[in-house]
Amino acid sequence: MNEDLLLEIKNLTVSIQKKNESIPIVKGIDMDLPNGQIVGLVGESGCGKSMTAKSINGILPSVAKVTGGSILWHDSKDKVTDLVTLKEKDLRKRCGQDIAMIFQEPMTSLNPMMRIGDQIREVLRIHKLEKSPSQSREQIIKMLESVGIENPSLRYNSWPHELSGGMRQRVMIAMAMISSPKLLIADEATTALDVTTQAQILKLMKSMCTKSSMSALVITHNMGVVSAICDYVYVMYLGTVMEQAKVSELFSNPLHPYTRGLLSSIPKLSGNPEYLKTIPGNIPVVNKKFPGCEFCIRCSEDVQKCFFENPPLKQVGEDHFVRCHTVSL
């Protein structure tokens, strides 16, 4: 990948603390986010995607914490900061200004007791970016207009319940972008939207990343979203990266059986409309330790070695890595 890195995750482990037990749910993953690129993190629900994203800006739930690894923020070639070691107040200053996040559910992400303009202005106030009232209002209205909201002057004074789901998500994007962040994290940002609105939001996000040279981490379980917006993608299963590659390479040459299962599960217009292919079996219990590949109990291509030895992540092509015993170099 591009050596001009903005964020570098090294051997990150996130664990849930349960009584006297520490259960890893993100298991030593590595990930690079280059400047100006959109990186996808894809996998089934519960695989650790959101926990990885929340580790970056320090909003893990109280029962979870980072128990290993580092999250390196590259301010410049000579200055690198490990976000894991920052004090909470220092991390808060960086998040929202350098790092912004769009959450999954636009219907509940906005405060129903505050008007749209006031909620966006609060971001400016918290990060000490607020100008005079008239200048701030003008800045917010321009941002609402840039995310495709019609009649932004009117919507500035609207309540969240007066907006559709698509418009609310556009407001969330405006709120994230108002501080001109270097990294945008979109956690299932289009899941609750209809297909037409979803396409509009994805197009908007890609356009804004291009215009501002901003990097983005897109968390999704939808391979269609990955193909539409991402440059590079990590495929995650049960807290582990199983395959990573450029999007074009992954879709043309998927190597891991799990990746192929995800791609074959996409509904197709042709063929039997009543038949939808699925990945067989169930996700293992997260606190159950397994010596081999954790996907092998659901895999149709497993060999005996898969049950006893966890495969390493190996390079099989330019920027293409896979964790599987059955894939040869």
CATH number, domain of 47, equals 3.40.50.300
Show the domain range for 20: 5-98+181-322
Number of domains in the chain: 1
- Which pLDDT score, from 0 to 100, does residue 2 have? 45
Q: Considering the domain boundaries, does residue 61 fall inside one?
A: yes
Whose structure tokens read 């409309």? 273
Q: Considering the domain boundaries, does residue 288 fall inside one?
A: yes
Q: What six digits make up the tokens of 109?
A: 């992400």
Dihedral sign for Cα 106, 109, 113, 115, please: negative
The alpha carbon of 239 is separated from its chain's Cα centroid by a whole number of angstroms, namely: 14
Of 187, 5, 160, whose CA–CA distance to 79 is shortest?
A: 5
Q: Considering the domain boundaries, does residue 190 fall inside one?
A: yes
Q: Considering the domain boundaries, does residue 127 fall inside one?
A: no
| DSSP-assigned letters across all residues of 25-50 | EEEEEEEEEETT-EEEEE-STTSSHH
Q: Considering the domain boundaries, does residue 329 fall inside one?
A: no
Q: Considering the domain boundaries, does residue 136 fall inside one?
A: no
**pLDDT tens digit at each of 329 positions of the chain:** 445 889 999 999 999 988 788 889 999 999 999 998 999 999 988 889 999 999 998 889 989 999 999 999 998 767 899 999 998 888 888 887 789 888 877 667 889 999 999 999 998 888 878 888 899 999 999 999 988 888 999 999 999 999 988 888 889 888 888 888 899 999 888 776 778 878 888 888 888 888 888 899 999 988 888 998 999 999 999 999 999 999 999 999 999 999 999 998 887 777 666 677 888 888 887 777 778 898 988 888 878 888 889 899 999 999 999 999 988 75
Of 218, 116, 134, whose CA–CA distance to 175 is shortest?
A: 116
- Which pLDDT score, from 0 to 100, does residue 42 have? 94
Q: Considering the domain boundaries, does residue 194 fall inside one?
A: yes
Q: Considering the domain boundaries, does residue 315 fall inside one?
A: yes
Largest Cα span, the chain: 69
| Residue 43 falls in which region: left (phi positive, over 0), alpha (psi -120 to 50) or beta | left
pTM of the model: 0.90
| DSSP-assigned letters across all residues of 88-125 | HHHHHHHBTTTEEEE-S-HHHHS-TTS-HHHHHHHHHH
